[in-house]
Structure 1
Amino acid sequence: MEERLKMIYDSFADLEEDMQAAFSSKDKELIKSHFFRSHRLVFKIMDHIERKIQTREYSVLGDYFHCMNVLKKKIGSWYEDLAQLYEEENQEEWAEREWFSGITESTDSIERFIQYAHATLKVHNLYVSKDIKVNLERISAANVIDITSSLKRVRLVINSAVSEHGAVEQANYILAWVDELQKAISNREDLTLALDKVPEEVSLEKAIGELEQLIGLDEVKRKIKDITNWVSFNKLRQEQGFKTEKISLHMVFSGNPGTGKTTVARLVANILKAIGVLSKGHLVEVGRSDLVAEYVGQTAIKTMNKIKEAKGGVLFIDEAYSLVRGSASSDFGIEAIDTLVKSMEDDRNNMVVILAGYPNEMKTFIDSNPGLQSRFKNQIEFPDYSLDELMEITNLLLHQRDYIMTPSASTTFRRMVGKTTLRYPETHGNGRLVRNMIEDAIMAKASFVMEQKARNLPGGDLDLLDETIMGIVEKNRPLAGKKLAGINGMNRL
């Protein structure tokens, strides 16, 4: 054996000892530095091989090729160990990458291909061991494109393993499972529509423009634009070599129902995608029932399912305070919060969490959870709409639905809205109130027209909501007539 080759083997022996110590201490940064050393050794061998070919020293080429194969097999096994280390820490995406790195280093083990397939599926919370129906429940319009891509990748890798090592039971089972899941996806209309839909690239200008077009919410708009400018400013400083702060973009939206919280959250997702903070920019809406399970040990799994679905976008938790009911320490909602807080730290560069709910309840919830206080610096209040703003929303909704309201009908509609907001100042529904009332009017219009038609009488223009229709709506609403007679301010509406 040539002296140079002996030196490479000696260096590799030292590297093995150092790598073993690094794995024992679970020091991932040190492990990665040793990987760099291992690749330098492989490049050195390749360089020697090239020189031997140029000088026609063919008799020693076999020794060098054998040495390189030994190194690459060992490196592949180290990537396996690193992948398993990430799996122990529930960092599935990093585990998947390391399993793939192991395959690229050495294809000597079919088990490595199998484990890579399982790791790829686990990133999306899919498991070959579970029923297809259970896995299908975890696929939505928001993640089906990524999952479909992963299924194709799994098929490609397993087919490569079979080509090299021959068919084995595990490989055949995975391929059959992928076929079955893809067939189940193709049978769900919402998923096929999502797959066929061409993703729309939303520019920053368009997303900000949509924010500006929202009725009212001036202070909300200002704060969202301030956060956007702050992110962009930090990127500029980073590009020019200045120190930058760690940016926490998690937010609290506090406000009564119907004040635009969900709409703004969707625009925030688009804005953060446009400026490069989020990779996908989608919105995943959840409530307590989507995160909290009924049995011990299931809540963390259920919460992680939604977190994985939201990666690359915004996780919007409505009525977040419902995660903790009272002060019961046994409530599984606490487990959901703990899982959420950990994931917010692990995935802070590619997921934003927005907590939403009633103002007082949200303040109490955040103040009573120190772990949440430090992570939700951006707290935005959504005020109730004024009566004038509610009428602006009414006109916009009518225009979108292709209806016209006569001036007298509009006066009646305004009076009904005003009465409701005075009677229920905190629970009237804001934008939802006028949307529901418009739907009531359209329903009344439909019934009126069809009844008139049955009597061979004119039903009027199909796009017109007049005083007759508003009279029917007012009569049918629970706040009609004498119920509001004693409320202060009614005579001013």
Structure 2
Amino acid sequence: MDTSKGFGFHRPSAGGAAQTTAIEEQMPEPAILGDDEVLDLSADEAAARVSDTLAALDAELVGLASVKRRVREIASLLQVDRARRRFGLTTTRPTLHMSFTGGPGTGKTTVALRMAAILHALDYIRAPRVHTVTRDDLVGQFIGHTAPKTKEAIARAAGGVLFIDEAYYLFRPENERDYGQEVIEILLTEMENERGDLVVIFAGYPDRMATFFAANPGLSSRVPHHLTFADYDHAELTQIAGLMVESEGFAFDDDAHKAFAEYLSLRMEQPRFSNARSVRNAIERCRLRQARRLVALDRPLGKSDLITLTAEDVYGSSVFEPSPD
């Protein structure tokens, strides 16, 4: 029996058919493996890129265990499909259109970027890019305007991922003259015809997305992967804050750690809280207050001064101001 073999698939070029043909001439498809041969999944050079991407996802995002598990399952499915092709087994190209539901600042865009990297590494899409659009990028203002806008967005995303944020705004049943339904009809066609060259991700708040898919069953049937991004709890947000501060070359002192935990408890109860996005904004404002404090010291500054965020920098937030009676 032959020794275990790795993969030898080429990556299609993002530059067009002519370049792809040239690569195919230089790198022919590997021979079909015999029934008594074995294939080492870890020997595939794409597996290393997928592993690195999954590790980056774990490092970047706190929590989200169910989301990370589904991403790993999708990556595993594509790796096994590649192995089946090496043995000449029938493989149906999977449909990988997705729905990301969750509140703001829960990591949907980050996961979309990492998903694109994984799909590209495994030759499912031609480029690891994500083209993000909203209703305004797709829906026209007059008759005949919507189709060209939608097709332009699809063309820009071709070979990669089309990420439609707040997708439910495409459907406005209260307005019979709204052109959003035309976008949905075009997407239905393109998602089926171009599923080997385009992945569409619909994103938005859970309740509105549920209504959106219920009103468009044809669209729902073409989206097999639904990932739910839960809001972060206090402990996770505290961890996220620490990672953000460290990544910027700063550090909370002990009192600042406690102060920021208090800040989160108060801010999470207020309107328009946006999870990690609100944490990042809060840290930016802490840095502004630190800068003002350091300049006001009117003395030479050391490295420790420039790095340290203090409780004073946190407590300066308006969140701590008493509410008016």
Q: Same fold (TM over 0.5)?
A: yes
Q: Alignment partner for residue 265 of structure 2, among 410, 418, 427?
A: 418
Larger relative contact order, structure 1 or 2 (CA cutoff 8 Å, min sep 6): 2
1:482 partnered with 2:322: yes
Q: Which residue of 2 aligns with 1:282?
A: 129
Contact 1:251 1:379 in 2 (8 A): yes
Contact 1:259 1:382 in 2 (8 A): yes
When structure 1 is superposed on structure 2, of 203-212 and 304-313 the one drifting more is 203-212
CA distance 1:241–1:445, shift in 2 (3 Å)? same
Cα distance in 2 between the residues matched to 1:484 and 1:418: 19
When structure 1 is superposed on structure 2, of 340-349 and 255-264 the one drifting more is 340-349
When structure 1 is superposed on structure 2, of 415-424 and 428-437 the one drifting more is 415-424
Cα distance in 1 between the residues matched to 2:222 and 2:177: 24
Cα distance in 1 between the residues matched to 2:140 and 2:216: 21
SS class of match (1:461): helix
Cα distance in 1 between the residues matched to 2:162 and 2:90: 29
1:206 partnered with 2:46: no
4+ aligned runs moved over 4 Å, structure 1: 456-460
Shift of the alpha carbon at 1:457? Answer: 8.5
Counterpart of 1:446 in structure 2: which amino acid?
A
Q: Which residue of 1 aligns with 2:314?
A: 470
Query: What is the identity percentage for the equivalent residue pairs of Structure 1 and Structure 2?
Result: 35
Within a 5 Å distance, the mapping from 1:323-362 to structure 2 comes to: 323-362=170-209
Contact 1:419 1:484 in 2 (8 A): no
Q: Which residue of 2 aligns with 1:160?
A: none
Counterpart of 1:466 in structure 2: which amino acid?
T
Contact 2:50 2:75 in 1 (8 A): no
**1:96-120 Cα shifts (integer Å, max 9, x gaps):** xxxxxxxxxxxxxxxxxxxxxxxxx
**1:392-450 Cα shifts (integer Å, max 9, x gaps):** 111111111111111111111111111121334xx410100110000000111112222
Shift of the alpha carbon at 1:483? Answer: 3.0
Shift of the alpha carbon at 1:246? Answer: 4.2
Q: Which residue of 2 aligns with 1:440?
A: 285
Q: Which residue of 2 aligns with 1:461?
A: 305
TM-score computed with the length of structure 2 as normaliser: 0.81
Cα distance in 1 between the residues matched to 2:173 and 2:296: 52
Cα distance in 1 between the residues matched to 2:324 and 2:314: 18
Counterpart of 1:205 in structure 2: which amino acid?
S
Shift of the alpha carbon at 1:230? Answer: 1.7
Cα distance in 2 between the residues matched to 1:325 and 1:281: 32
Between the two proteins, the alignment pairs up a number of residues equal to 282
Shift of the alpha carbon at 1:205? Answer: 1.7
Counterpart of 2:244 in structure 1: which amino acid?
L
TM-score computed with the length of structure 1 as normaliser: 0.54
Largest Rg, 1 or 2: 1
Counterpart of 2:112 in structure 1: which amino acid?
A
Q: Which structure 2 residue ranges, 5 or more long, are not aligned?
A: 1-13, 20-47
**1:249-290 Cα shifts (integer Å, max 9, x gaps):** 000000000000000000000000011101111111111111
Cα distance in 1 between the residues matched to 2:191 and 2:174: 23
